[in-house]
Structure 1
Amino acid sequence: MPRAPIPAPMRQRRKEARPQELLDAALALFVEKGFAATRSEEVAARAGVSKGTLYLYYPSKEELFKAVVRESIGTKIAEGVEELGKHQGSMADLVAWMLREWWERMGLTPAGGIHKIMLSEARNFPELAKFYDDEVIVPSCALLAEVVRRGVASGEFREVDPDTAVMVLIGPVLHLVLHQHSLGACGIDAGPKPEAGKVLELQLELMFEGLLNRPRGERTPAFKGQPSA
């Protein structure tokens, strides 16, 4: 009878988990305090390791921040690209799915705080701003623009400029995310603030009223936003 595998020693399992533990600690602190105010030793302490151990994995705070962005946002963009590659159905459903997923995975998680950090601190850290543009803004906008472009090409969407349409698509969701991680984090409601989910659904309804290629006055269908492979 074969012997059961011997569990890895605790120290070994701990070592393998450290990069993710460091990234989780860094994300939490960056969102709480901002990039400039967060110190490397604070990240190490929250992750339960020494500052020297932190530098073994991430030699500078800048490199740590880049790793956090790649892990918390870059992976989501890659998933969207993969979904687009296999999607066979309506581009409207894919747009709706992407916007809802973006809100669920980033607007409602600490990852959304990275957007606020970049808006408030980019001017003081131009190298990080360039990195964020290359790794997040350019590929995410290109992804959404390609979805719109395919919808136009198939006749599902009317003739619109895809790159301009992207700005219309992401504006309301970005506003919700920024509120969530600024005034919303303080428990302050800036004027009437309906439930975020309702705002997103109304945005989709109004957006498709203008985007879909169909006779004027024809009612927008209820979009479930589920991509079909």
Structure 2
Amino acid sequence: MPASRFLKDKLCPVSAKRERRKEARPGELLEAALDLFVEKGFAATRSEEVAARAGVSKGTLFLYFQSKEELFKAVVIENLAGRFTEWNREFDEYEGSTADMLRYCMRVWWERVGATKASGLTKLMMSEGRNFPELAEFYRREVVKPGHELLRRIVQRGIDRGEFAPVEVDLAIYTVIAPMIFLMLTKHSPAICFDHTSTIDPEKYLALQAETVLHGLCRTPKAAE
């Protein structure tokens, strides 16, 4: 703890506690908003509900976020869009084969996004994006476009290194995206994906899908000659 914070806490503990609470509020509001957007959707979520779940007044919410739309954008940046810098850095530093990189990409995506509440944002945009075109465009620009570009980089890396057969990269990326989207739908809308007796193991499913994709992408010894 910085010395200034320590002295402030000692000399004025109530004031210091309030200051820490104020600093925590944006994160608490974003967490509450994520919960409600995933549970109820964008249209059905009211700003006062977000404020109440975060334990603040509606007026306090609007001190940090000017509208529900701005709050939604902040949730998307916090949970998805803001992570592409980290993910692209991992791509730049990866030293293994491209096949292993693709396996890693799909597994880590599930761990960091698919298995979390943030995966519900994709389903929300699929169901409500047409009704909120400005938010849909924001989501395409901040999440879809950089996500596609990262997958293009992976496939192109495999082609450039002679590990993957030459394929149409813009189409090949959807062989990776499609099972990810399906898995998110099973998480948030299982009733429309399975009958009541079916279950799916996400890790096993993605591992199988990765191998299926790679069998189509990787050069065979004959093709490499």
TM-score by structure 2 length? 0.89
For 1:7 and 1:68, the matched residues in 2 are separated by 32
Pick aligned residue for 1:92 from 88, 99, 103: 99
Q: What SS is found at the alignment partner of 1:194?
A: coil
Identity %: 52
Q: What SS is found at the alignment partner of 1:6?
A: helix
Pick aligned residue for 2:112 from 100, 105, 109: 105
1:201 alignment partner in structure 2: 207
For 1:201 and 1:7, the matched residues in 2 are separated by 52
1:67 alignment partner in structure 2: 74
2:13 alignment partner in structure 1: none
Mapped contact 1:40–1:51 kept (Cα < 8 A): yes
For 1:214 and 1:7, the matched residues in 2 are separated by 67
Q: Structure 1's 170 and 190: CA in aligned 2 closer, same or farther, altered over 3 A?
A: farther
| Deviation digits for residues 127-147 of structure 1 (CA, Å, limit 9, x no counterpart) | 000000000101100111011
From the two aligned structures, give the one with the greater helix fraction.
Answer: 2
Mapped contact 1:23–1:67 kept (Cα < 8 A): yes
For 1:125 and 1:183, the matched residues in 2 are separated by 25
| 2:123 maps to 1:122 | no
1:49 alignment partner in structure 2: 56
For 2:83 and 2:189, the matched residues in 1 are separated by 22
| 2:33 maps to 1:33 | no
Mapped contact 1:80–1:98 kept (Cα < 8 A): no
| Deviation digits for residues 158-199 of structure 1 (CA, Å, limit 9, x no counterpart) | 111111111001101110111101126x9x746633312111
Q: Structure 1's 59 and 70: CA in aligned 2 closer, same or farther, altered over 3 A?
A: same
For 1:47 and 1:192, the matched residues in 2 are separated by 36
| Deviation digits for residues 103-152 of structure 1 (CA, Å, limit 9, x no counterpart) | 11222111000011001001100000000000010110011101111110
Shift of 1:54: 0.4
Unaligned runs of 5+ in 2: 10-15
For 2:61 and 2:93, the matched residues in 1 are separated by 39
Residues 1-229 of structure 1 correspond to what in structure 2 (within 5 A)?
A: 5-6=6-7, 8=9, 9-183=16-190, 189=195, 192-215=198-221
Query: Which protein has greater RCO, CA pairs closer than 8 Å, 6+ apart?
Result: 1
Unaligned runs of 5+ in 1: 218-229
For 2:105 and 2:25, the matched residues in 1 are separated by 31
Mapped contact 1:44–1:54 kept (Cα < 8 A): yes
Mapped contact 1:25–1:43 kept (Cα < 8 A): yes
Answer with 109-118 or 203-212: which moved more. 203-212
Runs of 4+ deviating beyond 6 Å: none
For 1:6 and 1:141, the matched residues in 2 are separated by 49
- CA-atom RMSD, angstroms? 2.1
Q: Structure 1's 35 and 156: CA in aligned 2 closer, same or farther, altered over 3 A?
A: same
Q: What SS is found at the alignment partner of 2:42?
A: coil
TM-score by structure 1 length? 0.87
